[in-house]
Chains A and B, each alone.
Chain A
């Protein structure tokens, strides 16, 4: 017992020495690496006041190889193209959701980072990647340098990318009824969607060929195509589908999307579409 006591004492002393030994460690200071940032340009200030401050969204337009796929031959946007493209994003995407979903809707649920790329992301199978949403945090938008704000098809395609990626982010926050969706057109999904024609895909109950990749892309495509079409355009799209089953399935998917927005975000999906259309018209005519 006596021995044990002595060891206990020894152990206590050693332990306290150990702690004392740590007391003089240098605390980490500022990085010695020169990470000083350059002065903000007018564009930087505009981005801060339009995206970072109100919506907590960071925009990367300068090249940073860590934010892109370096095996692809991409390039950063031309400086002069950045603000016009971001104005389109702000007007058609953010403003529409803010008006219908509430002022802070996008601030609460949004990708925290946007990476802008000037060039096209052409894949070796001939397909074009228009956008990427990674982990619900970061959205990459391609072909910024080619956006013509006066062209309705170009603006629609550009906004389609954002709407599509944003639907993914909404899904990552609140999942949609995946089981119900998966039952509708289970045999139509394929990884070689890019060899399929749009007409064939629609006759099988898919709004686009890309929707056939999996149910998540299907949901995002269904929602984003409706959001980027006017009521009349969407009606014309449906009227063009002659296959009765195909048309019925597209309509069933539409109903799930509408219900999803209502149940999870209390958003009237059709009101959101009309607002986006109104804002698209404003962008193109200005």
Chain B
């Protein structure tokens, strides 16, 4: 038995020794080792980054399903420094920072100290509530995927989006600041109309879409206005000195339109095809979808009280900047400890209609009596001034309320809409919107 054990042991031992001699070397499929290839890739990327005299341009769409694109210009220097400019905001100046080509599973370009591209990756600066804590989903580490037609192809580290660097020209650098007025045009000012439309013209007929555009996100969603249609699509925009470019084109009669040119005369962005085909982004004071809610406030209806409470509704999403600016100006004309606390509009209250202005700081309330009429074509409610009162009796119209109060009495009338959200309390929210200015007040139904 012992003899056998030794025999087996020896056989096993020899087998191991012989096994150790087996060649484990695989056939080389490449001339170079993986390490050599990685090093060569790094050198190749370094060389190409430095090769372009005017640097590189990249329009970075971080996620074109919800965000637009930001134009970046890069000039790489041999000592690990990079000059960069972007149209993220009005600061289109060139800033210098550091970059590095890092080796990992592949070669990546990393912007290692903060510069303009990092503005897309600030956790606390996000354009929509869905992106809370995620900024603009931007990255600043890009994996190198080679070159094609003189372009460098990268993919972002975090979410694997393709980013292409194209050779920049001297003109690209001088053009970049000219994106700013275009961005301001599409963003609008506080007096710009509150709503946007996208109109598709196929050469014979016009189809309208409500265009819900977020200027910070550079993204808009178009929803067809035609009865019974649920057609919807997104436009992810980037900017040029002449207009906006949509990452995904608008398709009309088989024509792909993506280059929207800004027309300052009409304040519209128009993408033109052939044969009268075009797509137009334009402003409108009239809400694209009108409601019949104004009818609840006309004569003979039950009492309705719609109240703006400054403490809760000043910062509501539907309160317009223009409304806020008028409130601020009115408050500024009052003594330092006084301000508007409430604007309550009473309809059919004991047969009367009036606006009650209430104040903080002990100032007594004043009341503006009015009568109503409506326009069923434009679906607006018109207020007509009657008289002013305070708790003691009739008074002349208070001068400090003139501009604010006039917004309610616009001859074009007011749009009234019951919104589908609440703020702090369970009371239904109604908005009162001017048909002629960008005045929109958010109220509770009290």
B-contacting residues of A (Cβ < 8 Å)? 3-4, 7, 10-11, 14, 17-18, 21, 32-35, 38-39, 61-65, 70, 72-79, 81, 118-124, 145
| Complex: A79 Cα to B97 Cα, angstroms | 7
**A17-B17 contact given A75-B121, A122-B133, CB 8 Å threshold:** yes
B100 & A38 in contact (Cβ 8 Å cutoff): yes
- Asked if B10 and A10 make an inter-chain contact with CB atoms under 8 angstroms apart, the answer reads yes
10 further A-B contacts with Cβ under 8 Å, apart from A78-B113, A122-B123, are A14-B13, A18-B20, A33-B35, A62-B113, A63-B113, A65-B110, A76-B113, A78-B114, A120-B123, A122-B132
The reply to whether A121 and B123 form a contact with Cβ atoms under 8 Å apart is: yes
Which B residues touch A11, using CB under 8 A? 10, 13
In the bound complex, what is the Cα–Cα distance between A95 and B143 (angstroms)?
42
- The distance from the CB of B188 to the nearest CB of chain A, in whole angstroms, is 28
- Tell me the smallest distance from the CB of B20 to a CB of chain A, in Å: 7
CB<8 Å pairs between A and B, sample of 25: A3-B3, A4-B6, A11-B13, A14-B14, A18-B20, A33-B103, A34-B42, A62-B98, A63-B113, A73-B122, A73-B123, A73-B137, A75-B114, A75-B118, A76-B118, A77-B113, A78-B97, A79-B113, A118-B114, A118-B118, A119-B118, A119-B123, A122-B123, A122-B132, A123-B133
- In Å, the complex CA distance between A45 and B63 comes to 40
Say whether, besides A3-B3, A73-B123, A14 and B39 are in contact (CB < 8 Å).
Answer: no
CA distance A63 to B36 in the complex (A): 25
Which residues of the other chain, A, contact B33 by a CB distance below 8 angstroms? 32
Q: Which of B33-76 contact A (CB under 8 A)?
A: 33, 35-36, 38-39, 42-43
B interface majority secondary structure: mixed
At the interface, yes or no: B260 with Cβ under 8 Å from chain A? no
Complex Cα–Cα for A170 and B211 (A): 58
- Is B296 located at the chain interface by the 8 A CB criterion? no
State A34–B104 Cα separation when bound (angstroms): 11
Asked if B385 CB lies within 8 Å of chain A CBs, one says no
Q: Which residues of B contact A39 (CB under 8 A)?
A: 79
Does B157 count as interface, using CB distance less than 8 angstroms? yes
B87 to chain A, nearest CB (A): 18
A32 pairs with B13, CB closer than 8 A = no
- Measured CA separation A14–B10 after assembly (Å): 9
C-alpha spacing A73/B125, complex, angstroms: 10
CB contacts (< 8 Å) of A145 on chain B: these are 114
Q: Which residue of A lies closest to B107 (CB)?
A: A34
Find chain B residues with CB under 8 A from A34 CB: 39, 42-43, 103
| B contact residues, range | 35 or more
Say if the beta carbon of B135 comes within 8 Å of chain A. yes
> Whole-angstrom distance from the CB of B126 to the nearest CB of chain A?
8
Asked if A63 and B112 make an inter-chain contact with CB atoms under 8 angstroms apart, the answer reads: yes
Interface residues of B (CB under 8 A from A): 2-3, 6, 9-10, 13-14, 17, 20, 33, 35-36, 38-39, 42-43, 79-80, 97-98, 100, 102-103, 110-115, 118, 121-124, 132-135, 137-138, 140-141, 157-158
Chain B nearest CB from A235 CB (Å) reads 33
- Asked whether, in the complex, the Cβ of A65 is within 8 Å of the Cβ of B141, the reply is yes
Given contacts A11-B10, A62-B100, contact A33 B124 (CB under 8 A): no
What total count of A-B pairs have CB within 8 Å? 104
A121-B135 Cα distance, complex, nearest whole Å: 11
Q: How far is the CB of B17 from chain A (nearest CB, A)?
A: 6
- A32 near B36 (CB under 8 angstroms)? yes
The closest CB in chain A to the CB of B119 belongs to A75
Contacts A3-B6, A33-B38, A119-B121: A73 and B134 contacting too (C-beta < 8 A)? yes
B39 cross-chain contacts in A, Cβ below 8 A: 32-34
Instruction: Please measure, in the bound complex, the distance between the C-alpha atom of A32 and the C-alpha atom of B33, giving whole angstroms.
Output: 10
Complex Cα distance, B131 from A87, in Å, reads 35
Q: B96 → chain A, closest Cβ, in Å?
A: 8
A72-B17 contact given A63-B141, A124-B133, CB 8 Å threshold: no
Q: Looking at the assembled complex, report how far the CB atom of B412 sits from the nearest CB atom of chain A, in whole angstroms.
A: 42
- Complex alpha-carbon distance, A63 and B80, angstroms: 13
Residues of A within 8 A of B140 (CB): 63, 75
Q: Given the known A-B contacts A32-B36, A63-B141, are A75 and B97 also in contact in the complex, defined by CB atoms under 8 Å?
A: no
Interface centre among B112, B114, B121, B137 (most CB of A within 10 A): B114
Closest beta carbon of chain B to A62's beta carbon, Å:
4
Which of chain B's residues has its CB closest to A4's CB?
Answer: B6
Give the complex CA separation of A122 and B122 in angstroms: 9
B17, B98, B122: the one contacting A75 at CB < 8 Å is B122
Of the residues B9, B17, B141, contact of A18 by C-beta under 8 Å: B17
Q: Which one of B14, B33, B122 has the greatest number of beta carbons of chain A within 10 Å?
A: B122
* Residue of chain B at shortest CB distance from A118: B114
In the complex, A196 Cα to B354 Cα: how many Å?
A: 43
Residue on A with the closest CB to B3?
A3
Task: Please determine whether A7 and B17 come into contact, CB atoms closer than 8 angstroms.
Answer: no
**CB-CB nearest in chain B for A61:** B113
Report yes or no: A38 in contact with B79, Cβ–Cβ below 8 A. yes
Residues of B with C-beta under 8 A to A119: 118, 121-124
User: What are the residues of chain A within 8 A of B141 when measuring CB–CB?
Assistant: 63, 65
Contact B6–A7 (Cβ < 8 Å):
yes
Instruction: Contact check, A122 vs B97: say whether CB atoms are below 8 A apart.
Output: no
Q: Is B10 in contact with A76, judged by CB distance below 8 angstroms?
A: no
Known: A3-B3, A63-B140, A118-B114. A74 touches B14 (CB 8 A): no
Shortest distance from the beta carbon of B105 to any chain A beta carbon, whole Å = 12
Least Cβ–Cβ distance between B233 and chain A, in angstroms:
27
Looking across the interface, which residue of chain A has its beta carbon closest to that of B158? A70
Contacts A11-B10, A34-B42 given; does A120 touch B17 at CB 8 Å? no
What is the distance, in angstroms, from B108's C-beta to the closest C-beta of chain A? 9
